[in-house]
Amino acid sequence: MNKNYLFLAGLIIIAALYPITSSAYITVGISVLLFTGWATSWNLLGGWAGQLSLGHASFVGLGAYFVAIGSSQFGLAPWWSILVAMAVAAVMALIWGKLTFGLRGPYFSLSTIAIAEILRLVAINESWLTGGASGVFIDTLPQPFGVDLFDQKIQYYLALLYAAVTIAVTIFISSRRFGYQLKAVRDNEEAAMAAGINPSVVKLKAFVLSGAMTALGGGIYGIFLSFIEPHIIFNLLFSIQIALTVIIGGRGTIWGPAVGAALLVISGEIFRTAFAQANMLVYGVLILVVILVLPRGVVGEYAHKLIRRKYANRA
């Protein structure tokens, strides 16, 4: 069995014990797990395929809004709403990718910003469905097998399951043909084409999978928040934070997003408490220092040193 699967199983067991042993800071734990899932999903496109997206908040918002609207207006159970949201996110990524993967340089990144902005404007103007700028509440949810989905411990385990699934998918892809194609396209598109790989098709598959998995986490986020507001959920800074999580942890690595999520979320909470008004300044300086000192990200630099040491020993 792949060692990464064993490591993941060990982490799941340890993480699953946390709410049982202590309920302190459980919301921080939920945030770390959700950002791990979102960042891992983003990493498929931004890290493995090398396509920088600054619009992944749109997929998070889709998942959250579908759960909110489905429960409040149509009486749908959240799992059905999430499945629909994942399908819509996949179709949206498919269409958007076909329209924009021909763009070079920063133009694809700029185009992804438009996705979230369009959805934000739709959410504000279609108030009959979304509640408009005032947002929409999630006040009633079914209780499958008597389980209260508003219970934070249940939300924690949902977030843990989500993070575990996204990491497992990445581990699976990394050792398969699709994973090698993604790396080839990221490193050199011309060489990949010469080897018979269609870069647009490979990136499109990554975009579709990334969008669907991000929407899955968005549905859980909607249950966690219980209130969805367009200016927050479709915020550009939210998309940037997801991307930064991967960049700091390590793009194109399996564990980089999880490490980045833990560093950013936990440090953000610490600075908010310790530095009050200056917390964002300190937080920004920390991010800048990490990027300058560890340009490949924490996990990326560690993996690079291991490779160098391995070949040095052989010599």
Write out pLDDT tens, residues 119-136. 999 999 988 888 898 889
CA distances from 58 to 36, 113, 126, 263 (A): 17, 9, 16, 24
315 pLDDT higher than 60: no
When pLDDT is cut at 50, 70 and 90, the band that residue 275 belongs to is low
165 pLDDT higher than 80: yes
pLDDT in the model for residue 277? 62
Tens digit of each residue's pLDDT (9 = 90 or more) over 236-254:
889 989 999 999 999 999 9
Q: Are 255 and 100 contacting, i.e. CB atoms less than 8 angstroms apart?
A: no
When pLDDT is cut at 50, 70 and 90, the band that residue 182 belongs to is very high
Tens digit of each residue's pLDDT (9 = 90 or more) over 4-63:
999 999 999 999 998 887 777 899 999 999 999 999 999 999 999 989 899 999 999 999
- Could you tell me the two tokens for 253? 């690595």
Cα(70)–Cα(67) distance, integer angstroms: 5
191 pLDDT higher than 70: yes
- Give which of 243, 261, 252, 241 is closest to 296, Cα–Cα: 252
Phi (first) and psi of residue 206, to 5 degrees: -65, -40
pLDDT in the model for residue 129? 87
Q: Are 115 and 58 contacting, i.e. CB atoms less than 8 angstroms apart?
A: yes
**Distance between terminal CA atoms of the chain?**
30
Cα(32)–Cα(27) distance, integer angstroms: 9
313 pLDDT higher than 70: no
Contacts 24+ apart (CB under 8 A), 122-129: 123/61, 123/65, 123/230, 123/233, 123/234, 124/230, 129/69, 129/73
278 pLDDT higher than 70: no
Cα(166)–Cα(119) distance, integer angstroms: 24
For residue 137, what are the β-bridge partners? Answer: 227
Q: Are 165 and 219 contacting, i.e. CB atoms less than 8 angstroms apart?
A: no
When pLDDT is cut at 50, 70 and 90, the band that residue 311 belongs to is low
pLDDT in the model for residue 282? 67
CA distances from 35 to 133, 144, 167, 183, 212 (A): 25, 26, 12, 23, 15
296 pLDDT higher than 60: yes
pLDDT in the model for residue 14? 93
Q: Which residue has the higher pLDDT, 75 or 35?
A: 35
Per-residue pLDDT, averaged over 281-304, amounts to 78
pLDDT in the model for residue 73? 86
196: exposed, middle or buried (C-beta count within 10 Å: 0-12, 13-18, 19+)?
exposed
103 pLDDT higher than 80: no
pLDDT in the model for residue 314? 63
